[in-house]
Structure 1
Amino acid sequence: MADKLQGFPFWLIAFDKLGALEDAGAIDRLTADLASQQITDLFVFSHGWNNDHAAALALYDRFFGEVRKVLDATPPKSADTRMGVVGIVWPSILWPDDAQNASMDHVMTGGGGSASIGGGPPVPAAQATPAQVLKELRKGYDDPGQLTLLSELTAALEASPKSEDALKEFRSKLGKLLASESAPALDSKQPDNAEGAIAGLSDMKWRQLLEVLGERAMSGQAPAGGAAGFGDPFKKLWAGAKDALRVGTYWQMKERAGVVGQKGLGAQLLAQIAAKAGRTRVHLLGHSFGARLVSFSLLGMPSTLEKDRSPVKSLFLLQGAFSHFAFADQLPHDQARSGALKGMAVRVDGPLMTTFSQKDLAVGRSYPVASFANQDDSAAAQDQVQRWGGMGFDGAQAVNAVVQPLSQPGQKYPFAKGKWLNLDGNTVIVHGGLPSGAHSDIAHPHTAWAALAAAGVV
């Protein structure tokens, strides 16, 4: 029996990190309900960074609260429309630094260099203690070996010994953690894989990376009476090590999102909806790593489900934290490679779209790591953004996307089947604080309208 979310029938579907259902009968009950309740349009939403079910439910409630308001003002075009919502839950993490600053009271100014309230002084980034970091990371890992490594890594951050050997040992243990869930042969040149190669850096490159990350991390802290790390270079290096752990664990969540999307959402849920509830139109939405999850579900769907045979009638990525080249047939800077989802747009029988905002700092966090891992750290900053940028920073690239402002309800967008629309949210997606910026600022009338319009509901 469906629950209710903002008045819509609501089903929660939970997967483990390998894409297996936590409740084996959940999909059968869903498909039966879709038929019995005559659901015409099913919105399937996946959270991204997260640390518990309650946080995921709060996101879904917030977003579909905006959807409800839009529909109250503009009813569906068809009186026969019956909408339902599926909330996907999967084991992800949210660093406490980011959780403390996921506030919608701060407005990111300029290009996102600092957060301010009404033009006031910059709001410094939160600085979670290693103990707080470990407490949150343990929620996303269940393997004893991984938990041991996390304990040792955070203990090293706590101690911060003034030792080059300790920093090298940190790199080694971080590499073991990253290898614990990744594919055996990792192509670091593939846009979404680069961060996973961090442990392969030479001693010199590793130290240089820690200096870059440490400088960035400490520049967002509250003033401490002097230049960052002055007189104590290890303070900056260990700040960089903490940020390397953040980037590395978030990279694991990004990889995990792809697995859950392909093996869970695509191969199981979407395949079963197509087989058992074929009249229901599916609309995929994902935030952050959840955008990668719903995108990779296309890869997991049976190959016969293309164009008008596909149950997926729209794809909407909200501040996607994965490569902006994911759907590209060819990488502009490396024509021997393509995006991981090359050719998958054909499995959406409708429009594909993504929001982007340069006030979202989270989607830019991996640039230095990706660049160092591929020995192109001397490249110009703009070139790094181009090679390693995320969907949420500048939209889908190398796919002939149309760019339009993310607009108020009532806007007519140029939707086309199988075509990309990049929605510029730089004046809408602006609220948040350091270090992640406006990454979580996705529940607006503008985004609700875009989702409904792409679905053909309004």
Structure 2
Amino acid sequence: MPQLGPYPAHFIKYDKRGEADDRGHANDLQDFVGQGAFDDLLVISHGWRNDAAEAESLYAAICSQISALREGDSAAAQALAGRKVGVMAVFWPSKPYREFGAERAQLGGAASGATREEEMQALADTALADLSDALDGEVEAGKLNRLQARAAAAFADRDAFPSFFNALRDALPEDETAAERSDKAAFGSARVAEEVRAQIEAFAMAESGLGPVDFQQGGAAGGPVRTARASVGLLLNLSTFYTMKRRAGYVGQRGVARSLRGLRDARPGLRIHFVGHSFGARVLTMATQTIEGDAAARPDSLCLLQAAFSQNSFSARFPPGYRAGYFRPVMEDELVAGPILVSHTHNDLAVTWAYSLASLVSGQNASSLSDGAPSQYGGLGANGALYTDEAQDGALLPAGGGPYDLQSGRIYNLLADAFVKGHADIRGPEVGFAILSAMAASVSEGTA
């Protein structure tokens, strides 16, 4: 039997459509839980990691932190004393959102002898390959071929950007779950692609490390020509983000929710704790909504670590249209028996920037990156849950420090600036302590 840290684990793999690879996945999970006689089951999902070994390493690190903290004398550790923990590890075929700074380091940057143009070409090529692979089987080959040709043209000629943008928009499939259609709608904006290009180039300047540029005067270090090249890779990269977000919804809806069906029939009294990172947060929130409060599978706690979905998802009414967020039923119908924890920080550039793209493409003011005011398309992992009456602002606490005061039916926005320095920086004891506290709160309240 696999182990994640000190805990026995059951691995379930899902395909790009969200279906489990093994037809007997639900029965196998019930056997695992029943034979293991577990009191608590951690259900953990990764985000944009296409390497199963890397996801498994993340899971092991989180479980090891929880185990170590249970040895302490915190109130959370005491509440979980003597309880037996097992893990359901979720694996799904995600593609990475490639942060430009990280990619430059991997390529060796200037030290490798590559010019900036060569680096940007390599990044654009990689992003295009990732997106083409992500869309394989879902989009007509002709559309992908057209996208590849027009991406190459846009890299060589700044004036070809509008045609590239239109080909990209045409290649992105509709979200069959109808979840947060604003993301695709942003790509379908009727605004002139020239306006989109200019604004995306501003982001490309910062992400690629080229520094500020005056677009009216041409700027330094190659000005708009060089940033246009960087923007091709950036837009392709962010489009891969969109497709993976869509896929995460399928995995939660068609995969994880079905795997958990009837689970407490095999182990009455089992506490189920969801922990999702990045798109994995979307996987497990979608699963929560799909389960619809079924007593045999309803989660007792939900921890969303640097979640890659909308800040408005849990809202009853958010501007400008004052409609409900897609995941509003999670709150209104009390689909989580205990607390919901949300870690968020603008140190997470991946979530912060990717969601600002939607504002850029739809013509909204993108000042949120500089003045801290979130746009309507902001990400949960950047800003927390907004326009949500049940949300309470707080901070990620030091491990073993002052206890969290957690209650069911509430969302706790935990500002993580002090401890989370990037999108993947969630292996620390502070994150482990937050998860432990959520687990303990559901046990203390006796939720089921």
Task: Give the structure-1-normalised TM-score.
Answer: 0.81
May I ask how many residue pairs the two structures share in their alignment? Answer: 415
Distance 1:35 1:99 in 2: 46
1:314 to 273, 298, 301: 301
Distance 1:271 1:439 in 2: 31
2:359 to 371, 390, 397: 371
CA contact (8 A) 2:97 2:238 kept: no
Tell me how far 1:139 sits from its aligned partner: 5.2
Verify: 1:270 aligned to 2:260, yes or no.
yes
1:455 to 426, 439, 447: 439
Verify: 1:182 aligned to 2:181, yes or no.
no
CA contact (8 A) 1:195 1:366 kept: no
Verify: 1:130 aligned to 2:117, yes or no.
no
Bigger drift between 19-28 and 151-160 goes to 151-160
Which residue of 2 is the match for residue 407 of structure 1?
Answer: 397
Distance 1:183 1:348 in 2: 25
Verify: 1:390 aligned to 2:379, yes or no.
yes
Q: Percent identity?
A: 27
Verify: 1:440 aligned to 2:424, yes or no.
yes
Which residue of 1 is the match for residue 2 of structure 2?
Answer: 3
Distance 1:19 1:265 in 2: 8
Query: SS of the counterpart of 2:88?
Result: strand
**Residues 447 and 203 of structure 1, relative CA distance in 2, 3 Å threshold:** closer
**Residues 270 and 343 of structure 1, relative CA distance in 2, 3 Å threshold:** same
Tell me how far 1:170 sits from its aligned partner: 1.5
**Residues 275 and 149 of structure 1, relative CA distance in 2, 3 Å threshold:** farther
Which residue of 1 is the match for residue 281 of structure 2?
Answer: 291
CA contact (8 A) 2:124 2:236 kept: no
Verify: 1:171 aligned to 2:179, yes or no.
no
1:212-243 Cα shifts (integer Å, max 9, x gaps):
11122123435599878656644333422322
Bigger drift between 314-323 and 85-94 goes to 85-94
Verify: 1:343 aligned to 2:329, yes or no.
yes
**Residues 162 and 148 of structure 1, relative CA distance in 2, 3 Å threshold:** same
Mapping of residues 416-427 of structure 1, within 5 Å: 416-427=407-418
**Residues 299 and 182 of structure 1, relative CA distance in 2, 3 Å threshold:** same
CA contact (8 A) 1:51 1:139 kept: no
Distance 1:136 1:447 in 2: 30
1:151-205 Cα shifts (integer Å, max 9, x gaps):
65455444523263x32331232123212x5249x7xxx8x4333124433463x
**Residues 364 and 35 of structure 1, relative CA distance in 2, 3 Å threshold:** same
Which residue of 2 is the match for residue 360 of structure 1?
Answer: 348
Verify: 1:161 aligned to 2:156, yes or no.
yes
- 1:51 maps to a residue whose letter is N
Distance 1:399 1:352 in 2: 13
Distance 2:64 2:43 in 1: 15
Distance 1:79 1:93 in 2: 38
Distance 1:61 1:378 in 2: 38
CA contact (8 A) 2:70 2:80 kept: no
Q: CA RMSD in A?
A: 3.1
Bigger drift between 362-371 and 446-455 goes to 362-371
Which residue of 1 is the match for residue 110 of structure 2?
Answer: none
Which residue of 1 is the match for residue 243 of structure 2?
Answer: 252
CA contact (8 A) 2:128 2:237 kept: no
Tell me how far 1:428 sits from its aligned partner: 0.7
1:117-136 Cα shifts (integer Å, max 9, x gaps):
xxxxxxxxx85433333444
Distance 1:294 1:424 in 2: 21
Task: Give the structure-2-normalised TM-score.
Answer: 0.83
Distance 1:239 1:269 in 2: 42
Distance 1:93 1:53 in 2: 11
CA contact (8 A) 2:191 2:363 kept: no
Distance 1:54 1:155 in 2: 34
Distance 2:200 2:143 in 1: 21
Distance 2:249 2:45 in 1: 12
Which residue of 2 is the match for residue 72 of structure 1?
Answer: 71
Distance 2:141 2:430 in 1: 41
CA contact (8 A) 2:16 2:251 kept: yes
1:244-288 Cα shifts (integer Å, max 9, x gaps):
22222211211221221122112x022231443333211001111
CA contact (8 A) 2:40 2:83 kept: yes
Query: SS of the counterpart of 1:443?
Result: coil
Which residue of 2 is the match for residue 331 of structure 1?
Answer: 318
Query: SS of the counterpart of 1:213?
Result: helix
Query: SS of the counterpart of 2:385?
Result: coil
2:93 to 86, 91, 94: 91
Distance 1:238 1:30 in 2: 48
